[in-house]
Amino acid sequence: MPRTPEQFKEIREEKKQLIINTALELFAAKGFHGTSISMIAEAAGISKGLIYNYFSSKEELVIELMKAGFLDLMSSFDPNYDKILTSEDLKFFIINVMKNTAEKCHFWRLYFSVISQPIVNDVAFGEIMEIAMPFFKILTEYFEAKGIKNPEVEARLFAAIMDGVTLNYVFDPETYPLQASIDRILEIYNLNETKN
């Protein structure tokens, strides 16, 4: 029986995800320069040519990898997609990012290892910033509405705090005080009384 278009689409997405996951592991273990398309294909159990059906180059693959990780983080930022951040939305985001980090600790450990490589950052930075700018705009407007003196700086500081907690947790999940850190962030931003 022939496959339906939906089945072909599902198979294609599964192969693409296999390539991304395999590349992430290899980039983290061997570095961007130390990983070739051939190595990714071999580790994924697919042909090198199949990878080129999905990605035109190793650079495009790493950009897709970084974007996928960042979009995963951002998926809970504005849950109702109204481009207006409420205290409830911010609390939801903080809790979900930390929950996602705990549930996907291995992925995020690899992600941070990969993104910290200078060549990867050079290749992917523009794409990541393109995704991040609407996030910073909405966050800046939230802090401005709260009467924060320099809302742009506060938005960047908030992102740095979240990055720092996430990074520390993924490299030390056994002893890092994740829940206490979440509680402290909620306290800093007066979100403890906010419903969730």
Domains of the chain by start residue, with CATH: 58-188 (1.10.357.10)
Per-residue pLDDT 10s for the chain (196 aa) are 677 888 888 888 999 999 998 998 898 888 888 999 999 999 999 999 999 999 999 888 988 887 887 777 777 787 777 888 999 999 999 999 999 889 888 778 877 887 787 877 777 778 888 888 889 999 999 999 999 999 999 999 999 999 999 999 999 999 999 999 999 999 999 998 766 5
Q: Is 55 left (phi over 0), alpha (psi -120 to 50) or beta?
A: beta
Residues 40 and 147: their CA atoms lie apart, in Å, by 50
Q: Which two tokens stand for residue 182?
A: 């979440």
DSSP state of 113: H
Output the pLDDT for position 195. Answer: 62
Q: Distance between CA 16 and CA 31 in Å, rounded?
A: 20
